[in-house]
Amino acid sequence: MLLLISLSEAFRQQSVGIPQSWKVSYITPVFKKGDKNNAENYRPISITSTICRVLERIILNSLLIHLEENNIISESQFGFLKKRSTTTQLIFTFSHWYRAVLESKNVDCAYIDLKHAFDSVPIRFLLYKLFNIGIRGKLLNWISAFLTNRTAKVKINNTFSTSFQIHSGVPQGSILGPILFLIYINDITCVIPDNINKCLFADDLKIFQVFKNTENTNSLQNALNNVYQWSSDWALEISIQKTSILHIGSKNPKYTYTLKEKKFANYIHSKGPRNNISQRSFF
């Protein structure tokens, strides 16, 4: 408690900066599956400064108050927020899909995978977005100091690598990382047309259109074009190999869709929500 009070007072008076030791991450690679010689098959688990995490909670509370009072985070975001979860996202999605099937309509749903999204966020772009939503003064200055000049070491067994600079991304393993990422990705929903449903769980984006057989699905393709352009503008890469389309409806015409003129590699068809829709449907 005394530590919390001291850190809170230090932040209010802006009497101290952030020690460099607080900005070091220790990364342990944890094997997932596949070829053990392929670095892509390891998940990096990051450990950050314990003392800094205490101060981050103070900053997080200030951020959350600002976000909630100004209704900034999109209602389409279900990740890392109170009263929102994979369960509430599932309920939202299934309510639309069941209604569509009952009304003999179809659903085309695109699952969009952003490659290494948390690690790819350009810091100057994130600070720009923070400024635009009203984060100013010492709060913005502290976050800027927190994000810049970070370093990391990789730990394998009891051996550490040499230190290296981290030039982009929100710090994984930190308290602030998730909410900072939500702020960064928040306006992706603004480029999606109103007649397209959208769901986010952190960096996982799902967009879908309900339509009759007599209707075309240009709106969904237009939404995909807009999302691709947004990702290009804000330096987040879409992984076309991990992006897929789900067709729902017994008479679904199974339209094809593209991203930057590349056809989706993965298509799944289901006659209705009861018919073996994979867990991927719910993130």
pLDDT, one tens digit per residue, over 53-110 is 999 999 999 999 999 999 999 999 999 999 999 999 999 999 999 999 999 999 999 9
Residue type, 123: I
Please tell me whether residue 271 adopts helix, strand or coil conformation: coil
DSSP 187: G
State mean pLDDT over 217-221: 88
| Average pLDDT score over the chain | 90
Distance CA 10, CA 77 (A): 33
pLDDT band at residue 7 under the 50/70/90 scheme: low
pLDDT at position 263 is 84
CB contact at 8 A, 224 and 259: yes
Q: Which of 24-38, 104-118, 211-225 has the lowest mean pLDDT?
A: 211-225
Taking CA 28 as the corner, what is the angle to CA 200 and CA 56, rounded to the nearest 5 degrees?
55
Please name each of the domains of the chain with its CATH number: 2-72+118-173 (no CATH), 86-117+183-282 (3.30.70)
pLDDT at position 11 is 57
Backbone angles phi, psi at 195, to 5 degrees: -85, 5
Distance CA 239, CA 171 (A): 22
- Indicate the pTM of the whole model: 0.91
Q: Would you say residue 253 has pLDDT above 80?
A: yes
pLDDT band at residue 185 under the 50/70/90 scheme: very high
Q: What percent of the chain has pLDDT over 90?
A: 81
Q: Would you say residue 44 has pLDDT above 70?
A: yes
The DSSP result for 63-109, as a single string, is HHHHHHHTT-S-TTB-SSSTT--HHHHHHHHHHHHHHHHHTT-EEEE
pLDDT at position 269 is 83
Q: Would you say residue 146 has pLDDT above 70?
A: yes
pLDDT at position 165 is 97
- 216 against 259, higher pLDDT: 259
255-282 confidence digits (pLDDT tens) = 999 998 888 878 888 876 555 454 444 4
Give 214: exposed, middle or buried? Use CB within 10 Å, 0-12, 13-18, 19+.
Answer: exposed
Distance CA 115, CA 180 (A): 17
Taking CA 133 as the corner, what is the angle to CA 129 and CA 134, rounded to the nearest 5 degrees?
120
pLDDT at position 266 is 83
Which residues are CB-neighbours of 179 under 8 A, at least 6 positions away? 60, 63, 64, 67, 80
State mean pLDDT over 143-154: 97
pLDDT band at residue 235 under the 50/70/90 scheme: very high
Best CA proximity match to 239, nearest among 255, 220, 260, 222: 260
pLDDT at position 215 is 76
Q: Would you say residue 153 has pLDDT above 60?
A: yes
State mean pLDDT over 225-249: 95
Tokens at 144, concatenated = 């800027």
Question: Greatest CA span in the chain, whole angstroms?
Answer: 67
Q: Would you say residue 26 has pLDDT above 90?
A: yes
State mean pLDDT over 106-126: 97
